[in-house]
Structure 1
Amino acid sequence: MTRAIIIGAPRSGSGKTSVTIGILRALARRGIKVRGAKSGPDYIDPGFHTAATGLSGVNLDSWAMSPDLLNALAGNATEDADFIFLESAMGLFDGIPAGQGRTGSAADLARLYHLPVLLVLDVSGQSTTAAAVAKGFATYDPDVRMAGIVLNRLGSERHRKLCSEAIEALGLPVVGAILRDPTLNLPERHLGLVQAGEYADLMTHLDRLADMVEKSLDLDAIMALAAPFSPSPGSFENALQPPGQRIALAEDAAFTFLYPHVAAHWRQAGAEIVPFSPLADEAPAQDCDVCWLPGGYPELHAGRLAAATNFRAVMARFAETKPIHGECGGFMVLGEALEDAAGETHAMLGLLGHSTSFAKRKMNLGYREARLRAACPLGPQGALIRGHEFHYAQMIATGNDEPLADLADGQGNPLGASGYRRGLVSGTFFHAIARSA
């Protein structure tokens, strides 16, 4: 029987990602089959979970995924794991106003699967007040149970004693106490953490986090807090279906953001994913049925993409007879031009007429639901697709292409037309997660 626990916190930046990765790596080093999961839309943390454990990470998103798909993905995650540690996005209860159990918060998953919560508290700048925060979490929702507390960023042994005694007087066990150590922080950039695949010494850092966890947390107590995890039977009916039998997938430092569950389902459905690297001036194989340009960081590599002559020429030929779709960063590359952070403009593929800029950053963030105006690799005309936007680039020229979809926010408020299509080429800033149910 797989056991699971949610690792939550009052807010982003509390240290739950470092705690989660450290626990995963420490248990994997002990030979325990352990898997990481992440609530909400996040590509980056599952990559660290995978590196730490050797088992692929998974996203579980109660807003973007239908209950059946959520159960199917959760059930798959239990198949080869003894323990699952499910890391919350943002604060534990943070989501959007939506139907019961469909807010996108980790608390939805705690209620649905009756999972206990290990609460990570950043206690820097406070002492016994931490007990008031812990009590608030313990009593806020009777269906979300706080099972234990990890104190993070402690300044001293006295600091630990003050916090621990106040919290344990409430009947909440303190199962970890971590001293402040900035060297353990994971580096970040504009979309969050620097990705796992970009570390030259990734395993060294993961092992340092595991060493910290072994020293600072009672891992046996934490494993004892985990509860049996047996999701109801589910279905992949609302998963994104493979856009072709052989899918050419751009995959390198410029194109990195594809949800693990999307690629896994494509493979399970019998499709073959054929990766290629635009930064290495590679192009989609001509025997592929479709080309997918995922999100990533093309703004950091715009000069190399502009100079990739083979990539550019073959993509133009591919687009004459076969579909191409780009998401976010991929959408930017499909356009006429990309202005980087330094203000230098680089020619992109020109398969769509828009241009984008990263010189003046503006954050666009939130859940989205898109109704497709025309068939494309995301689905047939009229299909409703759920996902999100998270980017800092801005459109500086719109071109004359047809809109791809009508977009609404997570609460159904119309946002207008989104993305573009021309012939067999389509793209949007919107990242697809699943079909709406």
Structure 2
Amino acid sequence: MTARGIIVGAPRSGSGKTSVTIGLLRALKRRGFAVRGAKSGPDYIDPAFHEAATGRAGVNLDSWAMPPALIDRLLGESSEHADIVVVESAMGLFDGIVSAENRSGSAADLARRFGLPVLLVLDVSGQSQTAAAVAKGFAIYDPAVSIAGVVLNRVGSERHRKLATEAIEAVGLPVVGSVMRDPSMTLPERHLGLVQASEHADLDAHIDRLADVMERSLDLDRIVGMAASLGDVTPSSIKPSESTVIALHPPGQRIALAKDAAFTFLYPHLIAEWRNAGAEIVPFSPLADEAPDQSCNVCWLPGGYPELQAGRLAAANSFRNGMRRFAETRAVHGECGGFMVLGERLEDADGVTHNMLGLLGHSTSFARRKMNLGYRQATLLADCPIGKVGDTVRGHEFHYASLVEAGPDAPLAEIADGQGVALGAFGGRRGSVSGTFFHAIARAR
């Protein structure tokens, strides 16, 4: 059977897409479907919820950061041995940046490229018939993007449901479900978005509750029937020249990867690609005071929440000593939170300053917060684990920490925003150590 696909979209963040998607994924799994989740745009957290709901690894599909051939391959691999792929939109369905055609980063790009229909989730709290105007606007905004059906979310009463449903169906769009207002469905959040899946002690039970709600509230048969064939992007249909397109080459043969509550943000497609290329991932936990395996030839400190764990990291002497010993002869790279830990000091939210690894000379603060958010393209000024000198790598920034001392290190890259506007030198490098607030997604093509 050829896999089918559908996009879960909404007018904005906070509409309930993630709860609907997670519950839908588990409900479909209960029905015996082999189901996979995917996320449009740059997002580390939701793919982990998708994996928890389905038992199958999630994936990101980013139309700005990834070349089209890479998206084709990743979606093709996701559809292999799957009956249905559910793609969750980031932000609003059409939200992205001004860029080349179908390279904005929006979920609508994926809808156009693959002919995927959209299940539109509308938060109808505070409105009733007006929801039809919103739905109609989505239906006619872009003829190349098909709105297949609507799910009403946060419905207050049966009368509320009836008013909104009749108005929407009168403009020609089917309503395929209505989810009643229920605060217990809301997933907890913190400053970078949802609290991570790995931090929920009772996550599986919560997902089951969401699935129970979706089974009661959605017409699952109609939703499955709306999904479109992904036959054109199955692994067997992808050109041989495109099947080898990868995001980033493995930074080493044996990769020591920091992995715990402080270090969690590494895109699933990178881990999968590195393993497929023959690299071995050797995880270690700085919070458990573990050092990187000295038999590895590169160490990677991903992003995460070191600002919430700064005291424990500062007290982790085995981690500190092992990192310093490792960096004497082998490459070390830190992204965002990892970059913060590579520096001299980190000031936490309470204004307490903690000594970090000191492998780079900068200092950061979470007490003096400023949101940095957006697509970035980095042209590397030196060889490092994310590429060779002169390479341009696409990715993004998303952090609240500020750089309070730049330090004496040479910059790692020249950085520009998603539209190519230069932002100056970025990151730091010293010997075999490199780091930056920039999260790498894929090499530019």
Scaled by the length of structure 1, the TM-score of the pair is: 0.99
User: Quick one: distance in 1 between partners of 2:172 and 2:389?
Assistant: 55
User: Could you report, residue by residue, the CA deviation over 1:349-404 in whole angstroms, capped at 9, with x for unpaired residues?
Assistant: 00000000000211000000000000000011000000000000000111100000
Structure 1: any 5+ residue segments left out of the alignment? none
Q: Which residue of 2 aligns with 1:271?
A: 279
User: Quick one: distance in 2 between partners of 1:208 and 1:187?
Assistant: 15
User: Quick one: distance in 2 between partners of 1:390 and 1:100?
Assistant: 25
SS class of match (2:294): coil
1:97-246 equivalence runs, <5 A:
97-230=98-231, 231=233, 233=238, 234-246=242-254
Q: CA deviation at 1:105?
A: 0.3
**Quick one: which of 410, 422, 430 aligns to 2:430?**
422
User: Could you report, residue by residue, the CA deviation over 1:39-96 in whole angstroms, capped at 9, with x for unpaired residues?
Assistant: 0000000000000000000000000000111111111001121000000000000000
**Quick one: which of 328, 351, 354 aligns to 1:343?**
351
Q: CA deviation at 1:238?
A: 4.2
Q: Which residue of 1 aligns with 2:415?
A: 407
User: Quick one: distance in 2 between partners of 1:122 and 1:296?
Assistant: 30
Q: Which residue of 1 aligns with 2:57?
A: 56
User: Quick one: distance in 2 between partners of 1:55 and 1:138?
Assistant: 32
Q: CA deviation at 1:413?
A: 0.2
Is the 8 Å Cα contact of residues 68 and 236 (structure 1) preserved in structure 2? Answer: no
**Quick one: which of 353, 357, 363 aligns to 1:355?**
363
Scaled by the length of structure 2, the TM-score of the pair is: 0.97
1:264-303 equivalence runs, <5 A:
264-303=272-311
SS class of match (1:262): helix
Q: CA deviation at 1:235?
A: 3.2
Q: CA deviation at 1:236?
A: 3.9
Q: Which residue of 2 aligns with 1:70?
A: 71
Q: Match for 1:327: what amino acid?
A: E
User: Quick one: distance in 1 between partners of 2:98 and 2:227?
Assistant: 29
Is the 8 Å Cα contact of residues 257 and 292 (structure 2) preserved in structure 1? Answer: yes
Q: CA deviation at 1:318?
A: 0.5
Q: Which residue of 2 aligns with 1:327?
A: 335
**Quick one: which of 244, 250, 253 aligns to 2:258?**
250
SS class of match (1:266): helix
Q: CA deviation at 1:190?
A: 0.2
User: Quick one: distance in 1 between partners of 2:200 and 2:123?
Assistant: 26
User: Quick one: distance in 1 between partners of 2:301 and 2:351?
Assistant: 24
Q: Match for 1:264: what amino acid?
A: A
Q: Which residue of 1 aligns with 2:23?
A: 22
Q: CA deviation at 1:423?
A: 0.1
Q: Which residue of 2 aligns with 1:6?
A: 7
User: Quick one: distance in 1 between partners of 2:24 and 2:324?
Assistant: 47
User: Quick one: distance in 2 between partners of 1:161 and 1:365?
Assistant: 40
User: Quick one: distance in 2 between partners of 1:30 and 1:100?
Assistant: 38
User: Could you report, residue by residue, the CA deviation over 1:6-61 in whole angstroms, capped at 9, with x for unpaired residues?
Assistant: 00000000001000000001111222110000000000000000000000000000
Is the 8 Å Cα contact of residues 66 and 238 (structure 1) preserved in structure 2? Answer: no
User: Quick one: distance in 1 between partners of 2:28 and 2:71?
Assistant: 25
Q: Match for 1:307: what amino acid?
A: A
Q: CA deviation at 1:335?
A: 0.1
User: Could you report, residue by residue, the CA deviation over 1:253-277 in whole angstroms, capped at 9, with x for unpaired residues?
Assistant: 0000000000000000000000000
Aligned residue-pair number: 437
SS class of match (1:387): strand
SS class of match (2:290): coil
User: Could you report, residue by residue, the CA deviation over 1:100-155 in whole angstroms, capped at 9, with x for unpaired residues?
Assistant: 01000000000000010000000111111100100000000000000000000111
Q: Match for 1:145: what amino acid?
A: S
SS class of match (1:221): helix
User: Could you report, residue by residue, the CA deviation over 1:189-231 in whole angstroms, capped at 9, with x for unpaired residues?
Assistant: 0000000000111101000100110111111111011010132
User: Quick one: distance in 2 between partners of 1:355 and 1:342?
Assistant: 16
1:84-95 equivalence runs, <5 A:
84-95=85-96
Structure 2: any 5+ residue segments left out of the alignment? none
User: Quick one: distance in 2 between partners of 1:72 and 1:309?
Assistant: 43
SS class of match (1:403): coil
Is the 8 Å Cα contact of residues 246 and 273 (structure 2) preserved in structure 1? Answer: no
User: Quick one: distance in 2 between partners of 1:342 and 1:31?
Assistant: 49
Q: Which residue of 2 aligns with 1:436?
A: 444
Identical aligned residues as a percent: 72
SS class of match (1:402): coil
Is the 8 Å Cα contact of residues 299 and 338 (structure 1) preserved in structure 2? Answer: yes
User: Quick one: distance in 2 between partners of 1:310 and 1:244?
Assistant: 23
